Each structure stands twice: as C-alpha cells, then as structure tokens.
Structure 1
Amino acid sequence: MTCCNSYSLSCHIQHYGWGKKGKESKVAKLMGTKADPNKPYAELWVGTHKKGPSFLRETNILLSEYIDKEKEAAVGRHCYARFASELPFLFKVLSIRKTLSIQAHPDKLLARALHQKDPANYPDKNHKPELAIALEDFEALCGFRKVDAILHFFSQYKEFARVVGESFVESLIRSYEKSDKDLQRKCLKECFTQLMNADEVVIKQSLAELVSALRAKGLRNSLEDLIIRIYKDFSSDPGVFCILFMNYIKLKPGDALFVRPNTPHAYLSGDCVEAMACSDNVVRAGLTGKFKDVSTLCDMLDYSSEGVDEFVVSGRSHTANIIKYAPPVEEFAVDRIQFVDPPQAFQLEPYAGPSILLCIEGCALTNLEPGGFVVKRGCLPRDVMKCGPSHFNRNYSFYTVQCHLHPCTKRTRLCGLSGVLRAWQRRGAGK
C-alpha cells in the first residue's frame, strides 16, 4: 500500500510586542535565518488559520488550498468530514518576554455569538481550548484560586480589599462560611467584576501603595515579587491585582497547562509549545493595550474556585521515548518524543488524520520514496505537514515531494531526534 506524503511548510511568525527579541527567542532560533536583535519574535504559527497560514514550501500554495483540493485524501476521511479544508488544530511556539493579557477564550456557543456581533474583534466561530507544554521554566496565571486563599489575601493586603469593596468582600466571606459553592461562585464573580471595573485613579493609587509596602519589606515571597515585576509595566491596570485572584503556576520543562474555555489566564514568561483548536478568539480585560471587553470577560468566566492541580497536566508515558498529552477535546493531542541517546531508527504508530511534526532540538531525516528531507532545528525546512509515516535516520538529505495520498497503515520510523513534538487529531474525544 502506498502512503501519504510529508510536506515541508513555510510558517508564519507573529511579532507581538511581548515576545522575546532576536536570538533570545526560541521562535527566532526555529526560523533558521538571522534574527533582528531589536525585533520581537513572539509566536510561530503552524496550520491553516487565516491570520497566519502555512504554505507548502515547494509549491508555495496555501495548506488550506491543498486540503481543499485533495479533500479527504490529504487529511483523512473523518477529519475532512468534520473540519473540511481547515486543520482541526493550530500548533504554535511561544517565546514570552513580557506578560500577556488577562484573557479567556469563549466556548463554541459564545464564540458564534461574539463573531456575529463583532467579527472584527472576534474573527472565529470556534472555541479555543489550548494546551501549553513548557520548553523551559514557564510562568502563568490560570483559573481562580480557592476561596480561602483569596480571603487570606483580602486580609493580608488591605489595598486589594479596598479596591474590591468591603461589602463584596464580606459577601464572599459569608458564602465561604456557609460552604455554599454556588453562592461562592456568585460572590466571587461580583468581587472580580468590581475589581475590573474600578476607577483607574483608585487602581493606580492602590497599586502604588501596595507596591511601596512590598518594596519596604525585608523578605518577600515569589507572589509579591511577581506583583512588583508586573507593576513596572502596568502601574494603573487592575490586571496586577488579578495575581491575587488567580492561581500562580510555575512549570518545568515537559510540564503542561490545559486551559479550558471560559477560564481566565495569562502567560507571564518563558517558552512553550502550544496546541489548540483552530481559533484566534481572545476576550481581554487587563495587562494589555489591545482591545478590552471587560463586560464580556466578567460575564463569561467560569468562577469555580480550584487549585493548581485542576490545570496542570501530566503527560502519560507511552513508551520509553514518548509522552502523550491528551486533553479532553476532539481537535488535538500532543506526543513528546525525546531521546538522550538516539537509536538508529524508531517506530511510531500511524494516525489516520493530519499531523504536524516540529523539531525543537537535534535533527532527523524523513525518508519517503524515492527521496527524503532533513528536519533540523534552525535548518530549513524545519516544519513538516505529515499525513502518514516517515522514516528518520542519521543521513542528511534534502527532499523531493511524492504525493502518496492514500491512508497508510505502515508504522512510522524516527531516528536521530531529540526534543520533537507531534500533534495529531484525536477522533471521538470530548464531543
């Protein structure tokens, strides 16, 4: 049986202001070309989203146009029936120098409503659950802290309680004492909404007083250091106080964070690989100069009060070299494939749907009859659209495109790889 081809992709770079600059950026290193030391390289986008679409490098046609032309032969019958000419996922690399906004991504129902009402700011009808896998030490805020922790901060930091308002703080205290989860969510929403709608003068004064008191302390904890750090860029933004409402999460390389729809979050620093449903819908309300939609964010959020463990995802060891990250969604899952001492060859299971193969470190060779091509960090081509098996070994060879578009049941071989991640479509999950 013949197998599907692999294609080298030309992928899009987003130069958002919060990105790491020049050679400090993981994104810039993956470009394989000289980076401008004064330019931020924030995100590498791999996929079919119209804001940053990938092209087939050899023919310079849009990946979405190729899929539209070849249909299920390109991505598989199930994927094409469900998603047509769009990939079900968007695969990214992020290099974060400066805090991203306090934000959330709408569920499918709200995404459709926002798109119909304001397509300029909400360009997609789709939801955007996302999985971030740390490539280095990574910081984020995600979800609301447990209520007792928030109440502790109201007591510890009077400026925080003053901005929210005494009556709202007291209501949250009473809901906690009654152990009424529904009432706690209602009161927490009122507290958060008060903060995000507080007068800018009050926010600025309260933050200045808080930061002054923290700087005067002889010994500060990591959360207090974070407040001071974020304050330097956002001295009058209520988002700085969100640090006290939300879980502060630190990831080590290989740790992952799964962000469900309607969950407040903000990425703070570090590099990560990110897989998500194909959407760019973002509702923002703080720590940004971009469009803010405070009322929508406050109304849409899931105010469940949960700890860090609800959001940190541990990959499942599949083999000695493969760790699987499989969140409860149908659009994507991720394999992390890593070798300390690469073997001559390594076999992977084939998947019926489309995959993206991204080399983070090391190098490999795909071998499709009658030729192959090199996949290597910082060496073009660096990103591969894969719909079927490839063969990796220690030889270096450029590629020739041979379009074998039928599904393949042979096993995939990999070799010479270190730190490769592969995303694929999961069928039948999270519907």
Structure 2
Amino acid sequence: MGGDHSDAPGLLPGVSNKKKPVDQNVVGAFALNSPKEQGLFKYEPIPAAELARAEALPPPPPPTHPPPPQRYRRARSARRPAPAKSRSGAGHCYRLLGCIRTKDYGIRGGDARAARLARGNGCLDVLEASAPYAEFELGTHSSAPCTLDDGTLLSRVEGELPWLLKVLSIRNCTPCGAHPDLQSAESLHLKDSKIYPDTNHKPKLMIALTPFEALVGFRRRAELAELLARTPELAACVRPEAQLLLHTCTDANEREAVRSVFESWMRSADVVVQTRKLVERLRGEHQASKASGPAWLKKSQRAVLQLAESHPQQMGAMLPLLLNYLLVAPGEAFYVAPCEPHAYVAGECVEVCASSNNFVRIGLSQRIDVEAAITLLSYETGGPDVEFGRLAHQGPGTHTLRYAPDVADFEARVTTVEPGGCFELESFPVPSILLVVAGSGETGVLAHGARSPPRKHRYTLVPGTALYVTEGTLHLAVSVPSGNSGPLRLVRCCENLDGVLQTVAET
C-alpha cells in the first residue's frame, strides 16, 4: 500500500508494488509538499499562508475495512522488561514539556515542524530564524528528559519509559549508521561509555509527515552486482575476490558475500578519490541527459550527487549505491531493526524508538567506527515493508490508525478528529504520551453525559501540546469545536500492547 517509492515506470526493487496513487492535493499533518518529478525531493520552505491552509485540511480517508496485519519482519526482543507502571497511580494526566535539538542537518527557523511544535509545547521560548531545528523529543532518556509543567522531571515522578517519541525535521542527510542490538549495546558500552552511553538496543518506527526520503538496508545481491558492473568507481573500491563471491553466492551465504563487499569498501583507501571521479562523471552525464539504466539506478545516481553536495568533505556519498533508497508518502511508515544501516535524507516525520542513544556511524559523519560497523551490521538485504497503519478505531468524525511493529518496546497510534467530533481517550494498561501534531481542540468534556473530570485534566490542545497519561481508566474526552477550519491530529505512543496484554493474561 502507499505512495511512490521510486521513479516511474520502475519501482524500487524489494518494495511491494501494490501501490495506490497519492492525492497530492490532500495536505495536513500527513501531506505538505509533493516530490519533484524531475528528481529527488528536497525540502523547500512553505509560505505561512499555505502552511495554515494545509494544516487545516483532512488526511486521506481511512480504509472502509480492516487491512491485513502489518508485515514487519523482525522478531521481538528476547529481553522484555515488565510493563512500566505509574508511580502516581492510575487515571491521571499531566502536561509535558519536551526538548528541542538543533543539528546541522535540521530545517531552519519556523519552517521546521519540530520548532513549531516545540514553540507550541512551551519548551522553546525564542524561535531563531537561522537555527537548524532537527528534533523535538518526548521521553525520559537522560540525554533529553522531558518535565512536567512545574519543572519536575517526568522520570522522577513516574519512572523510566522504555521508548522515545520524536518529531524530526530533516533538510540535509543525517549521518548514516546503525543502532546496536542488546548484546552489541552492552559490549559497545563497556568499550566506550562516552560514545555508547547506555546498554539498550534501539529499534525504531518512522511515520512520514511529508514526502520523506531515506536510505535503509542493503540492496539485494542482484542489484549490488549490477551496480558494481555499471559503476567502475564503486568496483575500484571493492576487492576482486569480494566481487566474485557476490556473483557466485547462494541464498545460504548471501550475507557473507554482502559483508565482504561492504567491508572491502569501508577499508578501501581509494574511496575518496573514486567518489570524486564518480561525482564528476555523473554530473556530466546528467547535465548532458546521457544517464542510462533502469529508473532505480538513475535515482541512486541522483542521490549520490545530492549527498556529495551536502557532505562534500565526508565519506559516504557512494552509500546510495549500497543501500536501498526509499521515497515514502505522508502517512506511510517503515520499521528499522537494530543492526540495520540507515540514514534520513530529507523530509519530516514522527519517529518512535526504544529509549537509547547508541549509534554506530558508517558514513556522512566526521566520526566513523569502521570496526564496530563491520561487526555490528546484520547484512540482510532488501528494503523494509512500507505501509499505512492499521485501522484501530472509526467513529463519527474520528478514526485512529495503529502502527505496531513486532517489537515489545513501542507502538504508535494516530487519531484524527474532525470539527464537531469527539472521542473518549482509550484506557491503556501502561503509561502513554499524547502529542498534538496539527489542529486544535480541548479535553475535559466527557462522552455519555458523565461528570466533568478534575480541572487539572482540562487542557486546550494546540500543535505541540503533550500530555502524559498514566495507565488505567481516565474517562477523558477530546473534542474539536465545530467552527474549526480543520481536524485535530494526535499521535499517542506506549509500549506494544500486544505484548503487554499477553503478559497480563499470563499473570
């Protein structure tokens, strides 16, 4: 399902070709821009008037029947902690202040959704026009802990959460690398606790808010073989015996062959020189309109040129030849497993991940850990499944999509409430965080004619409002005034309820 993942007429190999057209006139939290037909999507600032109009329009309608279960390929973590429990008791709700980060690859000023949400949240007092805002984060990790509105750390009141909720605004490509699994995280932390500050793994889920570009996972061996044959500059960085193994390998030793190619490329002393030659050749071919080959190859070549422009002094511009390139439509999601190489190229998204700050860099960064990267990566091939969420709830003027990869750490739900609509917040057996990403509304008007909740549970909802909801029954309703010009859109994250409910049933 979902949007365009490659240049027409071809599709990115390894990604489902069961696509439906994306209505580029539909905008809002799940659509703001459309990718350029002539090349890669690049972030462009949106005029304020257009932005206000865009965020007022509804998202694509939900499916009329429940879709099949999501097809995330990775297994659950073997080490599952007990579900988090609130220390203040069940049935409470608190306003949260998050953290905003600036990074070189962020979108500048008010064009960054991360900055606008942080401003509405209250954690950003002054929005600087030239600052590259990259991440708006909600969670209890020590690197960016969120607080209650009185300044008290959430972790001090409620304990540690096993996941993080982020909104990312990406202008230039992020560093490319992989997050460790549990076993690797422990060994890396013992090796260097400053670079690898914790012992947790970091699977993560990305939900696109705009057309979103990413590099994820190694290409299939047939694609790698064709790229080596068509790209002499890449072949010059890979030992002949590694290329031979790739051409002669079977399914049984495919990972060994891919590892051999990647390790040879990582250790090559000619990467910088050959990258320069490749960029010069591709620029000449594209300017003269002489580029040849299938659509996915042309897209990979354009990605090389884009990375060479944004990261001229750093190793990694060849990575689009080794990794799958994805163009993800608004509302679509993909899962990144531990030990899987990836980088975000451009766009804005919601990211939900395990609570960790471990990252092994393999390119597009000044600091690269060659030995750790070669040892860490899984070397699985093929792109990730890219899908919309599953319809979890639908009522008059409201619907909820659930994004639940097969990991115990987290899940996400995106709820849309149309003007005049109202829904009662579902009770979960674990704590959750709710974030408003578009529109406005209010809490405190209960459904079914019940008595109003305490004053502390009444909140005005605007983009950036974040609420911490404890486990248990709250009977809190969210409503949108009928006079609003557009819907309210919420993202709610918690531990994966499939595993939580199974654990509860077993006990």
Normalized against structure 2, the TM-score is what? 0.72
Any conservation in 2 of the 1:350–1:412 contact (CA below 8 Å)?
no
Q: Which residue of 1 aligns with 2:468?
A: 385
- Decide which moves more: 132-141 or 369-378: 369-378
For residues 411 and 206 of structure 1, the distance between their equivalents in structure 2, rounded to whole angstroms, comes to 62
**Helix, strand or coil for the counterpart of 1:318?**
strand
> 2:56 matched to 1:56?
no
Cα 1:236–1:18, aligned 2, differ >3 Å: closer, same or farther?
closer
Shift of 1:412: 4.6
**Helix, strand or coil for the counterpart of 2:365?**
coil
Q: Which residue of 1 aligns with 2:134?
A: 42
Any conservation in 1 of the 2:99–2:137 contact (CA below 8 Å)?
yes
For residues 77-121 of structure 1, what are the alpha-carbon distances to aligned partners after superposition, in whole Å with 9 as ceiling and x for unaligned?
xxxxxxxx2111111111011111111011111111111221111
Shift of 1:34: 4.2
Name stretches of at least 5 consecutive residues in structure 2 with no aligned partner.
1-88, 120-124, 292-297, 445-452, 481-486
**Helix, strand or coil for the counterpart of 1:99?**
coil
Matches within 5 A, 1:32-431: 32=119, 33-57=125-149, 59-67=150-158, 85-175=159-249, 180-199=250-269, 202-217=270-285, 218-219=288-289, 220=291, 221-235=298-312, 237-289=314-366, 291-306=367-382, 308=383, 310-320=384-394, 321-339=399-417, 341-367=418-444, 368-371=453-456, 372-377=458-463, 382-387=465-470, 407-408=472-473, 411-416=475-480, 417-427=487-497, 429=499
For residues 118-149 of structure 1, what are the alpha-carbon distances to aligned partners after superposition, in whole Å with 9 as ceiling and x for unaligned?
11111111110000100001000001111101
Cα 1:112–1:427, aligned 2, differ >3 Å: closer, same or farther?
farther
For residues 424 and 415 of structure 1, the distance between their equivalents in structure 2, rounded to whole angstroms, comes to 22
Any conservation in 2 of the 1:204–1:235 contact (CA below 8 Å)?
no
Shift of 1:212: 1.4
**Helix, strand or coil for the counterpart of 1:188?**
helix
Shift of 1:419: 2.4
Q: RMSD of the alignment, in Å?
A: 1.9
For residues 215 and 114 of structure 2, the distance between their equivalents in structure 1, rounded to whole angstroms, comes to 22
Any conservation in 1 of the 2:206–2:350 contact (CA below 8 Å)?
yes
Shift of 1:234: 2.9
Any conservation in 2 of the 1:258–1:313 contact (CA below 8 Å)?
no
Shift of 1:293: 1.2
For residues 290-341 of structure 1, what are the alpha-carbon distances to aligned partners after superposition, in whole Å with 9 as ceiling and x for unaligned?
x3211111111111222x3x342431112331110000111110001124x3
- Decide which moves more: 227-236 or 129-138: 227-236
Shift of 1:373: 1.3
Normalized against structure 1, the TM-score is what? 0.84
Aligned length: 380
**Helix, strand or coil for the counterpart of 1:159?**
helix
Any conservation in 2 of the 1:12–1:54 contact (CA below 8 Å)?
yes
**Helix, strand or coil for the counterpart of 1:222?**
helix
Amino acid at match of 1:48: T
**Helix, strand or coil for the counterpart of 2:302?**
helix
Fraction of identical pairs, as percent = 31
Any conservation in 2 of the 1:259–1:311 contact (CA below 8 Å)?
no
For residues 3 and 278 of structure 1, the distance between their equivalents in structure 2, rounded to whole angstroms, comes to 23
